[in-house]
């Protein structure tokens, strides 16, 4: 019986190695099938022979060499590497039976008459039972095998290496974030940054904060040596807090770093107070103007007024913030 294995995977693999698009294969296949339809001799061939002839022509279109003389050492070598990495261990029952048979044979040879059990050679321990694959693991294995066949061995191996690097990089990033979070105190519950402020959760307030596409925020960050972060949900929460602009400097001198964060928090409180104290849009001032008043401190009449009049405690969460702002924004 004539058999033929399609060379599609081999051609896609070579395109990948040569950094070419898979679409080239599709175009070449369509052109070849169209040309073959004009030749009655080819169309009358058995199915496998016709496929072989068409794929041979596609191979020549793509790579310009004779596929019958093409060496497949690259594919074979890559397949061997992956098979070596991915070969499954035999079922536990077979491995156990094999080892027991060998042990019994060797044990018979080692046992000597007239010797106590203490003097007998120890028998090898039975291997641990191999846990059978779960349904999900079986599906993942089948999908992986199918993808490997479609992509080719070299492309599959490269994809595995890239995925492994991505996983390691993401793990390192998350560990870094968790470490940095531990350097900054948190409010009870551990979720909210200690230097957090709450502003009115309205589109108007948010628009004043992010005016001029955030250029005013950038100026404030540069002046105060921080990065501002925000969480906004309409009519629920508008939370703002500063983070260190230079984490290495913060780690070197955490005490000084916290002083910088506390100062940036004061600026946020001042800006929020100014926004609330000016009820009409014509009275409200840009963020950059508030920054200038804040940096001048006691030399600024507006900042002095804020220090004198802002006696109420600031909200500590979104619920108390909303209740506090509703009365002032009516």
Query: Residue 217 has what pLDDT?
Result: 96
Residue 325 lies in a domain: yes
Give tens-digit pLDDT for 8-46. Answer: 888 887 877 777 888 888 888 888 888 877 766 667 777
* Same domain membership, residue 313 and residue 268: yes
Angle 239-245-249 from CA coordinates, rounded to 5°: 130
* Same domain membership, residue 18 and residue 64: yes
Q: How many helices (H) and strands (E) does the chain have?
A: 15, 3
* Same domain membership, residue 323 and residue 202: yes
Query: Residue 75 has what pLDDT?
Result: 40
Residue 225 lies in a domain: yes
Q: What SS3 state is found at 193?
A: strand
Letter string b/e over residues 287-319, b meaning 16 or more CB atoms within 10 A of that residue's CB: beebbbbbeeeeebebbeebeeeeeeebbeebe
Residue 317: what are its φ and ψ, rounded to 5°? Answer: -155, 175
Picking from 70-74, 97-101, 110-114, which range would have the lowest pLDDT averaged per residue? 70-74
Report, as an integer, the average pLDDT of 208-229.
95
Residue 129 lies in a domain: no
User: What is the edge-to-edge ordering of all strands in the sheet holding 237-244?
Assistant: 197-198, 237-244, 226-233
* Same domain membership, residue 256 and residue 174: no
Residue 119 lies in a domain: no
DSSP symbols for 228-258: EEEEEETTTEEEEEEEES-HHHHHH-HHHHH
Residue 36 lies in a domain: yes
* Same domain membership, residue 319 and residue 226: yes
* Same domain membership, residue 302 and residue 202: yes
Query: Residue 161 has what pLDDT?
Result: 82
How many domains does the chain divide into?
3
Query: Residue 327 has what pLDDT?
Result: 65
Residue 322 lies in a domain: yes
| Count of residues in the chain | 330
Angle 30-32-35 from CA coordinates, rounded to 5°: 110
Q: Which of 44, 70, 96 is the last residue of a domain?
A: 70
* Same domain membership, residue 157 and residue 223: no
Residue 94 lies in a domain: no
Contact (CB, 8 A) for 257 and 250: yes
* Same domain membership, residue 229 and residue 153: no
Q: In the chain, what percentage of residues exceed pLDDT 70?
A: 76
* Same domain membership, residue 305 and residue 213: yes
Q: Which of 39, 70, 101 is the last residue of a domain?
A: 70
* Same domain membership, residue 238 and residue 208: yes
* Same domain membership, residue 159 and residue 235: no
Report, as an integer, the average pLDDT of 292-304.
94
* Same domain membership, residue 145 and residue 26: no
Give tens-digit pLDDT for 237-262. Answer: 999 999 999 998 998 999 999 999 99
User: What does pLDDT average to over the chain?
Assistant: 78
Residue 89 lies in a domain: no
Range of the domain at 178: 76-84+136-183
Residue 283 has pLDDT above 50, yes or no: yes
């Amino acid at each position: 019986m004539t058999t033929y294995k399609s060379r599609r995977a081999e051609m896609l693999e070579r395109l990948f190695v040569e950094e070419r698009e898979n679409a080239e294969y599709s175009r070449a296949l369509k052109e070849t099938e169209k040309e073959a339809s004009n030749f009655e001799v080819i169309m009358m061939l058995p199915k496998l022979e016709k496929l072989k002839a068409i794929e041979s022509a596609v191979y020549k279109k793509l790579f310009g060499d004779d596929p019958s003389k093409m060496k497949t050492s690259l594919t074979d070598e890559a397949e061997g590497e992956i098979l070596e990495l991915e070969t499954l261990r035999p079922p536990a029952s077979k491995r156990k039976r094999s080892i027991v048979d060998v042990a019994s044979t060797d044990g018979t040879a080692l046992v000597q008459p007239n010797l106590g059990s203490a003097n007998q050679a120890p028998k090898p321990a039975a291997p641990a039972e191999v846990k059978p694959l779960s349904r999900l693991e079986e599906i993942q294995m089948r999908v992986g095998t199918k993808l490997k066949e479609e992509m080719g061995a070299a492309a599959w191996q490269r994809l595995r290496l890239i995925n492994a690097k991505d996983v390691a990089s993401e793990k390192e990033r998350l560990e870094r974030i968790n470490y940095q979070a531990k350097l900054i105190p948190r409010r009870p519950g551990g979720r909210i940054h200690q230097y957090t402020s709450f502003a009115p959760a309205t589109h108007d307030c948010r628009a004043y904060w992010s005016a001029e596409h955030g250029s005013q925020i950038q100026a404030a960050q540069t002046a105060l040596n921080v990065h501002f972060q925000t969480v906004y949900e309409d009519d629920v929460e508008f939370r703002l807090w500063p983070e260190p602009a230079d984490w290495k400097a913060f780690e070197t001198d955490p005490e000084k770093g916290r002083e910088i964060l506390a100062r940036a928090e004061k600026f946020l409180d001042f800006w929020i107070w100014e926004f609330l104290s000016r009820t009409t849009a014509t009275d409200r001032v840009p963020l950059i103007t508030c920054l200038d008043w804040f940096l001048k401190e006691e030399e600024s009449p507006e900042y002095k007024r804020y220090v004198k009049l802002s006696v109420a405690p600031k909200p500590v969460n979104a619920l108390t913030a909303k209740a506090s702002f509703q009365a002032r924004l009516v």
